Amino acid sequence: MSLQICDLHARIVERAILRGISLEIRPGETHAIMGPNGSGKSTLSKVLAGHPDYEVTQGSVVLDGVSLLEREPDERARMGLFLAFQYPCEIPGVSIANFLRAATQARLPEGESLSVTDFYQKLYHEMDALGMQRTFSSRPLNSGFSGGEKKRAEILQMAMLQPRYAVLDETDSGLDIDALKVVAGGVNRLRGPEAGLLIITHYQRLLDYISPDFVHVMVAGRIVQSGGPELALELEKRGYGFLEERYGSSEVSPLAGAGTPG
């Protein structure tokens, strides 16, 4: 049982972005990925989720024994994969409640219908825990939400859908200190022996609240270093410069815009 990423290569419009990622996340584990802007962290999360813009050129991803890459994005999600987006998009006219009802309904066996009372009970419970006003549930999803509200809404969705593996892409960015605590609380409530987490972040700050078991550093589409929580502290002090110098040569760095495979 795990989310196993093996030698994953992916590109977008003829440009290689992921250049051999291997990583295994077991239920109960929390992994953090850090790395400079443009190193491919969001790309990894979208490739896992099945975004149609990216082409996987090599490697495999296996979720609890089932190969993921041939599956449609919605199937992957129902298999237990959740992605909290770095930039959640707005869904005009569709309320949070209706959206989550559709997502919850989609997880029920064929022919079974959702108990509306149970649904709202759970929704309000999670909203209360995340310090969200209940009236928020009737607002169109992400439309006109502040940056912090969008991130909270992502965590609310995660809490409602109870994924087996969750990838959180910079869920801490744009949050004030109080919101950060609330969001971290939401993440910690999902943690447990049943759930595996992959947290993408730029800041040690989040990791103060959600202490990871493993920290990985991604540079130019590869994981160049892995370690325990102390690695994050070291990066906070030293920056990525020393790693980029070593692993992100201008010839292959997507930052330099010349990353063709080969």
Partner 1 sequence: MIRRMLPEMYNGGTKQTPLPTWWKEIQEAAWVDYERLPMPSRKDERWRFTDLGKLAFTGYTAGFPVPEPSRTELQAFFQRGQAPALLFANDSLLFSRSLSPEAKKKGVLLTPLLEAANGAADLLKSYLFRERVALGAEKLETLHRACATAGALLYVPAGVELEQTVDLSFWLSEENAATFPHILVVLQENARARIHLRFGSTNPKGGFACSVQELFLGAGAQLEIFTGRNWAEGTCSFDLASVRLDRDANSTSFQLNRGGGYTRTESRSRLLGPGSRSVMLSATMARDRQEFDQRSFQEHSAPNTRSDLLYKSALYDSSRTIFAGMIDVDPGAQQTDAYQSNRNLLLSPDAEANALPGLEILANDVRCTHGATIGQVDPEELFYCLQRGIPLEAAQRLFVLGFLTDVIDRIPDADAKRTLAEEIDSSLSQPRRP
Ligand X SMILES: Nc1ncnc2c1ncn2[C@@H]1O[C@H](COP(=O)(O)OP(=O)(O)OP(=O)(O)O)[C@@H](O)[C@H]1O
Q: Residue numbers of the site for partner 1 (CB under 8 A)?
A: 49-52, 72-74, 76-78, 82-83, 85, 88-94, 98-99, 102-103, 105-107, 140, 157, 161
37 binds, among partner 1, ligand X, Mg ion, none (CB under 5 to 8 A by kind): ligand X
Cα separation, 45 vs 97, in Å, equals 25
State the binding partner of 74 from partner 1, ligand X, Mg ion, none, CB within 5 to 8 A by kind. partner 1
Least separation, in Å, of the C-beta of 95 and Mg ion?
Answer: 28
How far is Cα 11 from Cα 210, in angstroms, rounded to an integer?
31
Nearest CA among 52, 53, 43, 51 for reference residue 9: 43
Q: Residues in the site for ligand X, rule: CB under 6 A? A: 12-13, 17, 35, 37-43, 53, 86, 254
* Least distance to ligand X, CB of residue 33, Å: 9
Sheet with 81-84, strands from edge to edge, namely: 81-84, 165-169, 196-200, 30-34, 214-219, 222-227
Q: Which residue's CB is nearer to partner 1, number 74 or number 251?
A: 74
**Residue nearer to Mg ion on the CB measure, 87 or 242:** 87
Q: How far is CA 246 from the centre of its chain?
A: 27
**Chain centroid, CA 104 distance in Å:** 19
Q: Which is nearer to Mg ion, 19 or 104 (CB)?
A: 19
Q: Which residues are within 8 A (CB) of 102 and not within 5 positions of it... i.e. 6 or more apart? A: none
Q: Least distance from C-beta 86 to Mg ion, angstroms?
A: 5
Three-state DSSP at 129 gives helix
Q: Please, what is the minimum distance in Å from the beta carbon of residue 223 to partner 1? A: 23
CB closer to ligand X out of 66 and 258: 258
Report how far residue 3's alpha carbon sits from residue 140's, in angstroms, rounded to the nearest whole number.
32
Nearer residue to ligand X within complex by CB, 53 or 75: 53
Given the complex with partner 1, which of 102 and 258 has the nearer CB atom? 102
Answer for the pair 215, 227: CB distance below 8 angstroms, yes or no: yes
Chain positions contacting Mg ion, by CB under 5 A: 41-42, 86
> Considering CB distances under 5 to 8 angstroms, the limit depending on partner class, which of Mg ion, ligand X, partner 1, none binds residue 39?
ligand X
- Segments of the chain assigned E as strands: 3-12, 15-25, 30-34, 55-63, 66-67, 81-84, 165-169, 196-200, 214-219, 222-227
State the binding partner of 6 from partner 1, ligand X, Mg ion, none, CB within 5 to 8 A by kind: none
Nearer to partner 1, 116 or 233 (CB): 116
Q: Which does residue 107 bind out of ligand X, partner 1, Mg ion, none, counting CB within 5 to 8 angstroms by kind? A: partner 1
